[in-house]
Amino acid sequence: MRALATWQDKCIDSQLLVASLVGLFKQRDLDCDKLLRGTGIFITDIRKPDHLISPKQLARLLDNALAQWPNGDLSFLLGQLWFPSQSGVLTSGMFCARDVKELIYFWHKYHWLTQPWLQTWRWQGEHEWHFLLSLDLGMHRHKQFFIELSLSSFMACFKQLLGQAWRGSICFPYPAPDNLAHYYKYFGMDLRFDAPLCRISMAKNLLRQPSLFANQSLLYSQPENVDTHCAEDAQLPSASQSCIHGEAASPALDIQPLQLPLRPQLNMAKAARQALFAQEFRLGLAAGIRLKLMRRTLSLPEMAQILEISPATLKRRLGEMGLNYGQLADESRLIRALYFLAEPEQDAHSIASSLSFSDASNFRRSFKRWTGQLPGYFRYWLA
């Protein structure tokens, strides 16, 4: 089994977020020595190609940065820099996207290449498309920062490639922050807080909105009866199956017909897949555990056996990230429960059985502990 990145593993490209952060501090004449103090990162390191840092180093760097930064907009400024400052196959593939659907798919599929602290889950309701975001690599201590960073980077990318602001709604998994004006500026007005998970939603009729670069990304005219979208882009199956689509590395793209020449976006998908598989890590420990728990309920000893480590080692590695196994088990059950609640035919008894609860009452009590509300309150949260 492929290794999952832990707190000490070097798995984050320092030439991306770290380099952008150092650049911002230099522009503002802030002390870069204080920024890097205690991180084990040096300016000369950032200039080296393929230089990697660990989640532990990144967390210390952010502690230093937030202690010095004078305003509450650091995450938003870094998010605006993310797309123009990145290079490589992820950016190239997004530039080659024909429409919003391909753009989102590419980001979802290969975000580990530049934003490895994210884990993403897709869901399509009758009228809306949804993204659920979880944090990986032990970054939950900086949850608000990384959600702001990731979403502002996505919105900036969307605006650059589509030529207009993103339209949709966002739910945030924390109370309304003090810097609410930044949220309205970068994310729009349809915002909610104190949600069980971070959710991004968009009307499905916007998914076919063409990219400004669409004409440049086509090498040929598509016959009307040919669909070269990925097979996974079709309407997702039932809730019990669709909840596993958070994996960073999924099966190869299924492109038809084979005799047609590949579009640049598909060449970029191949290159991105090769780049992803060339890396030592493609998931962090938290994300890997969530994926396995989404498929079936496992005790900590059972999970440790699958990961080929001892239960004590698993507890210790999660503890280094400020996590425990119960948290990840509850979050995975919550995600699955929300998927099930979007299905009208699912009742509390069937959901409880699917999630390995003894009865519906036990499920309701647990759900209220997770969210502060009974399941019925979120019945159509992903509908």
Domains, the chain, ranges and CATH?
1-70 (no CATH), 73-213+263-280 (no CATH), 285-382 (1.10.10.60)
Q: What percent of the chain has pLDDT over 70?
A: 86
Helix axes 325-341, 311-320, angle to 10 degrees: 80
Tokens matching residue 85: 């400052």
Strand order across the beta sheet in which 169-171 lies: 118-124, 128-135, 198-203, 169-171, 191-192
**pLDDT tens, position by position, 195-207:** 999 999 999 999 8
**pLDDT tens, position by position, 231-264:** 233 333 344 334 444 443 332 323 233 333 446 6
Whether the per-residue pLDDT at 215 is higher than 80: the answer is no
**pLDDT tens, position by position, 128-159:** 999 999 999 999 999 999 999 999 999 999 99
| More confident site: 314 or 126 | 314
Region 298-304 average pLDDT: 97
Tell me the average pLDDT of the chain. Answer: 85
User: What's the confidence (pLDDT) of residue 380?
Assistant: 86
DSSP result, 17-74: HHHHHHHHHHHTT--HHHHHTTTT--HHHHTSTT-EE-HHHHHHHHHHHHHH-SSS-H
**pLDDT tens, position by position, 16-35:** 999 999 999 999 999 999 99
Confidence of residue 224 (pLDDT cuts 50, 70, 90): very low
Of 44-53, 59-68, 170-179, 288-297, the range with the lowest mean pLDDT is 44-53
User: What's the confidence (pLDDT) of residue 201?
Assistant: 96
Of 23-32, 107-116, 182-191, 216-225, the range with the lowest mean pLDDT is 216-225
